[in-house]
Amino acid sequence: MVEVQLADGRKLTMQAPATGEQAWGSLVKGDSMPVAYKQCGRLFDMSRPIEEGSAVEFVSADSEEGREVLRHTTAHVMAQAVCHLYPKTKLAIGPAISDGFYYDFDTDKTFSSEDLQAISDEMSRIATQNTPLRRVELGRQEALEHFRQKNQPYKVEMLEQMTDETVSLYRQDDFEDLCRGPHLLSTGCLGAFKLLEVAGAYWRGDERNPMLQRIYGTAFETQEALEQHLAKLQEAKERDHRKLGQQLDLFSSQEMIGAGLVLWHPNGGRLRTTIEDFWRQEHYRRGYELVYTPHIAKSDVWKTSGHLDFYREGMYSPMDIDGQDYYIKPMNCVGHILIYKSRLRSYRDLPIRLGELGTVYRYERSGALQGLLRVRGFTQDDAHLFCTPEQLLDEIVGVVNFVDFMMLERFGFKYRLYLSTRPEHSVGTDEDWARATEALKSALQKLGKTYEIDPGEGVFYGPKIDVKLIDALGREWQGPTIQVDFNEPERFDVTYVDKDGQRRRVVMIHRVVLGSMERFIGCLIEHYKGDFPLWLAPVQAVVLPVTDAVNDYAVLVKEHLRSVGLRVETDLRSEKIGQKIRDAELQKIPCMLVVGKREREANSVSLRRRKQGDLGSLTLDALRESMQREVDNPTVENQSEKGGESSLEDRSFQGAVSR
């Protein structure tokens, strides 16, 4: 007999070997079978025997871990279906991932959308057979010979690199796969699934290896949960910044100039300039000084900073200039350090806050590049704060408050906070790391902020606060970071003179309050669905003449509004007014100013607001004042729920409309 202890304190005495399935069956009658059980922090198949000792926790299909088991098994069933339809297929890997699964295949067949439907149909047929999944353990050498005979070179390569003497396979009818598990009891336990798309993927992510075909899919425990997820995917597709970037003519990335390098078009340039001008204004208001540093620097500075030792894989190859190696910069910090060191600093000068919209260049594999989100050249809204140890806490608090203002008040993002601690490969003493981590923690606690610890995710020179932005669909995006650095001041001998005339080591804070401008704007596009509030919109208003006879008045309206800095265009095409309005709506222009003979005579416009329609007649002066008021004092209200439309902004216009 074996005694099984459950997580809720109950105990069962069962005939050995007692499996998870048997334990559940002795407890509950009629309820859905869990997909796995957990013991000592590990997940096990329900068919695996339970070991005496630690408590057993059952894992339901609708939990995060349960869905991972469900999706992993669905990936195996998909691979089985592919092998049935295309018997010469060679199998690579097929893990569960966030919100779904994929499997990589090496086959002469180029998968199409019709093929995905055929594969899906075969998966459904396999599910109806309700075939058990059986775990089989083999010696590694035996498994190697087994997969060599089956002509599965990717499995052979994986086994050759393993060190375990025993490995596990999972078998279901005529299909088997090298896998640690766990898996569902049978193919009949699959929930609702959907195959989504086909993409290319290099084996092991290396461009020198074969290109494989990757089929992505998702699976949930119920059809309802699947449909909710698919609706969310559709919404995400409509918000895709690459699609909207093309539609709104914001940016492009072209092969001739190079992958991962962004060309900002006029509309994107206006959007970015608006954000950057606001950024500069707020930094000056908070006591920062803005600087500029060169794009390349001698290798000596990167040796001193430690980047060549700890970050070389992210840097591009050096250029030979006058017999010396120069590197294009991956970071802005060293330039700011050298500006600080350009003269002797007193404790009375501190804190010194240096900011820069500095463009940096970091290597990314071509397969990782994604629109504005992963690029090879990007601009960071970088700043470095130099302070005394006594000033450190207040400076961190000031940066967190700055993040609150930028994200919550101005751009309409909620966020989650993570405290990222020392990674495996790092520099500096344990004492300095502990001091830096404690300073970040104390600042968050002083502000009453809720945060999570993210172990080992700090940078090589110090711990950090990571701010993950939450967009309109609830997705997390990498945003601001705040990093305390005792290491660089030591390496560069960065000091100040204290009140006793002694040289003391400065404390340095690295921080961004937006992050990469490219990534932030990509996130912003998706958050607002390209439907920007008035202060951000690249074109804030377009003047639409009803007939060519009032084109001159349309130009006058445009110039009147442009004279106070508003971004206004005219549509002078010989199109019907309905077509012009539709085109302006597609371009997501917030305000449409319709003008005809009556408006010219009254020196007014007929105002249409996007998603609201006709708001009535408005004099030019009243229009100008209302637009300026909204641009100068934007108010965020439920931006994430409205996809960029703000009811407060709309009311500011309505109050100015003359009825």
Structural contact between residues 122 and 84, judged by C-beta atoms closer than 8 angstroms: yes
C-alpha count within 13 angstroms, C-beta hemisphere, residue 326: 10
Asked about 384 being catalytic, the answer comes back as yes
Asked about 362 being catalytic, the answer comes back as yes
Which CA distances in Å does 519 have to 377, 514, 640?
A: 11, 9, 18
Which CA distances in Å does 195 have to 114, 198, 321, 549?
A: 11, 9, 53, 56
Q: Pick the catalytic residue from 362, 511, 527, 624.
A: 362
Q: Pick the catalytic residue from 45, 115, 177, 382.
A: 382
Q: Pick the catalytic residue from 22, 152, 213, 380.
A: 380
Structural contact between residues 417 and 452, judged by C-beta atoms closer than 8 angstroms: yes
Asked about 628 being catalytic, the answer comes back as no
Asked about 464 being catalytic, the answer comes back as yes
Q: Pick the catalytic residue from 194, 307, 464, 580.
A: 464
CA distance 420 to 455: 6
Encoded amino acid at 142, one letter: E
CA distance 484 to 467: 15
Those residues whose C-beta lies under 8 Å from the C-beta of residue 579, and which sit 6 or more positions away, are: none
Q: Pick the catalytic residue from 333, 387, 523, 591.
A: 333
Q: Pick the catalytic residue from 155, 510, 519, 600.
A: 510
Q: What is the DSSP letter of 529?
A: T
Instruction: Kindly report the three-state secondary structure assignment for every residue of 342-380.
Output: CCCCEHHHCCEEEEEEEEEECCCCHHHCECCCECCEEEE
Q: Pick the catalytic residue from 270, 353, 374, 384.
A: 384
Question: Closest by alpha carbon to 101, among 85, 123, 121, 118?
Answer: 123
Asked about 333 being catalytic, the answer comes back as yes
**Angle of the 223-239 helix axis to the 517-528 helix axis, nearest 10:** 120
CA distance 523 to 640: 12
End-to-end CA distance of the chain: 86
Instruction: Kindly report the three-state secondary structure assignment for every residue of 462-509.
Output: ECEEEEEEECCCCCEEEEEEEEEECHHHHHCCCEEECCCCCEEECEEE
> How many angstroms from the chain centroid is the CA of residue 179?
29
Q: Which positions are catalytic?
A: 333, 362, 380, 382, 384, 464, 510
